[in-house]
C-alpha cells in the first residue's frame, strides 16, 4: 500500500528535512511540499492525500486553523517545537504530532502507524454491507451488523451507536477509532460528534439529517465530502 503525503511548513529547512525522510520510506509518495497552508489548499482538495505533515505556527493561516477545514480521510500529523500544542492537536482529532527537532526514527514511527491504520481502514472498506464489527459494552463484546447501524454519536469519553430497531449500544471508544473500522463511503463522518450510515439516511433538511425525531447536524468541515456523494446520486 502506498500513502500519498504532503508537507506544509513555513521554514524551508524543516520542509526539506521532512521531504528527505519521506523519500527514504518506500510506502510514502510525496505529493507536494509547501511553505504555507494557503499554497497547499488546491493540492489537498484535488488529490488524494493520506497523510499531511502540518506545522502549527505559520503566518496568515495556522496549522490548527487549517486542520479544521481538512476532510476526515486525510490523517493530520502536527509538527511543532512546543509540546503544549499536542493537547490542542488531539482536541481537533489530529492523528499524531512530532516534536521538533524531528528525528528520522520518530518520522518513521508515525509513518508506520499511519500505514497500519489505513491498511485496516482498507480492509473495512472492502467488506460488504452485511459485514459486522464487535464493540465492547458493559464488559461484553457485542456484535453489530453494519446494515443495522443508523448513526453513531460521540459523547465525552464514549460512543453511542444507534440501531434501526430503536435500540442503542454504548461503548468506551472514540469516533476517530470507530470510523477506521467502518466501510467507506457507506459510513461517513458529518460532524465532530456524528458518523452516519448513508444507506440508512432518508432525508436531509437544511444541512441536517433527519432520523425519526432526531436531527443530525452537518458541519462545514465535512460538507464538501458529503456533497460529492449526494451529487453522484442526485437525479437532475
Q: What is the pLDDT along the chain (236 residues), one digit of tens a residue?
A: 789 999 999 999 999 999 999 999 999 999 999 999 999 999 988 888 999 999 998 888 888 888 888 876 789 999 988 766 554 544 566 788 899 999 999 999 999 999 888 776 655 444 444 588 888 888 888 999 999 999 999 987 789 999 999 999 999 888 877 887 888 778 888 998 999 998 888 888 888 898 888 899 998 878 877 887 777 777 66
Among 37, 27, 119, 113, CA closest to 70: 37
pLDDT, position 197: 92
β-pair partners for 6: 32, 52
Q: Supply the pTM of this predicted model.
A: 0.57
pLDDT, position 172: 85
Q: How far apart are CA 45 and CA 66, in angstroms?
A: 13
Q: How far is CA 43 from the centre of its chain?
A: 17
Q: For residue 5, report the phi and psi dihedrals to the nearest 5 degrees.
A: -130, 155
Give buried/exposed letters for 22-57 (b at 16+ CB in 10 A, else e): beebeebebbbbbbbbeebbebbeeeebbbbbbbbe
Tell me the domains of the chain and their CATH numbers.
3-125 (3.40.50.2300), 132-232 (2.40.50.1020)
Set of cell numbers at residue 13: 529547512
Where are any strands of DSSP class E within 35-186? 51-55, 75-80, 96-99, 132-137, 140-145, 149-155, 158-163, 168-171
Among 61, 62, 44, CA closest to 7: 44
pLDDT, position 3: 92
Amino acid at each position: 500500500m502506498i500513502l500519498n503525503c504532503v508537507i506544509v511548513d513555513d521554514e524551508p529547512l524543516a520542509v526539506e528535512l521532512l521531504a528527505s525522510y519521506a523519500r527514504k520510506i518506500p510506502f510514502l509518495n510525496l505529493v507536494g511540499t509547501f511553505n504555507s497552508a494557503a499554497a497547499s489548499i488546491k493540492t489537498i482538495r484535488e488529490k488524494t492525500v493520506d497523510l499531511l505533515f502540518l506545522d502549527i505556527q505559520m503566518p496568515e493561516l495556522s496549522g490548527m486553523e487549517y486542520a479544521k477545514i481538512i476532510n476526515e480521510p486525510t490523517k493530520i500529523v502536527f509538527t511543532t517545537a512546543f509540546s503544549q500544542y499536542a493537547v490542542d492537536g488531539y482536541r481537533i482529532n489530529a492523528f499524531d504530532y512530532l516534536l521538533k527537532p524531528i528525528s528520522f526514527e520518530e518520522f518513521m514511527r508515525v509513518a508506520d502507524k499511519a500505514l497500519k491504520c489505513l491498511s485496516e481502514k482498507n480492509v473495512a472498506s472492502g467488506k460488504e454491507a452485511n459485514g459486522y464489527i464487535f464493540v465492547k459494552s458493559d464488559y461484553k463484546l457485542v456484535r453489530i451488523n453494519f446494515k443495522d447501524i443508523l448513526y453513531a454519536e460521540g459523547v465525552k469519553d464514549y460512543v453511542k451507536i444507534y440501531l434501526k430497531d430503536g435500540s442503542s449500544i454504548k461503548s468506551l471508544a472514540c469516533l476517530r477509532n470507530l470510523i477506521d473500522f467502518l466501510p467507506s463511503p457507506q459510513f461517513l463522518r458529518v460532524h465532530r460528534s456524528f458518523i452516519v450510515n448513508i444507506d440508512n439516511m432518508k432525508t436531509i433538511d437544511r444541512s441536517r439529517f433527519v432520523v425519526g425525531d432526531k436531527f443530525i447536524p452537518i458541519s462545514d468541515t465535512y460538507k464538501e465530502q458529503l456533497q460529492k456523494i449526494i451529487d453522484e446520486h442526485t437525479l437532475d
